[in-house]
Amino acid sequence: MNGALFYGQHLAKNTTYKKFICLGISGDEKHHRITPIFVDERGNYKVLSDVESFISFNEDNIEEYNIKEIFSFNLLYKSRIFFLVIPVCMLYNILNYNRKEDIT
């Protein structure tokens, strides 16, 4: 985990990318630990809950993973309607982050 954090902070400092999910991996095929770490452009980090596999990071799941784990928002499901409960103070940051992604 220390190595993943070190490289994530190094990348944040020395590249134009702004957000990273770094993975600290230990163990073997049967007994392993995968610890994601979110690192922002300032080198601040948040150690996230361990995952069992890399399935959370595929194209179909990464958006939900970001919302639940990184931004810590509550997800509510009612029938087939998806509701996202977002604190108003955080909404600006999310919209601004998405706008920057569209520009690059």
- For residue range 3-60, list pLDDT tens digits in order: 889 888 988 889 888 888 889 988 887 888 889 998 888 888 989 989 988 888 888 8
Domain carrying residue 20: 2-103
Give the span between the Cα atoms of 11 and 34, in whole angstroms: 20
pLDDT of residue 97: 57
Residue 95 has pLDDT above 60, yes or no: yes
Question: What's the total number of domains in the chain?
Answer: 1
Give the span between the Cα atoms of 101 and 93, in whole angstroms: 12
**Between residues 91 and 104, the one the model is more confident about:** 91
Query: In this structure, are strands 45-47 and 74-78 parallel, antiparallel, or unpaired?
Result: unpaired
pLDDT band at residue 92 under the 50/70/90 scheme: low
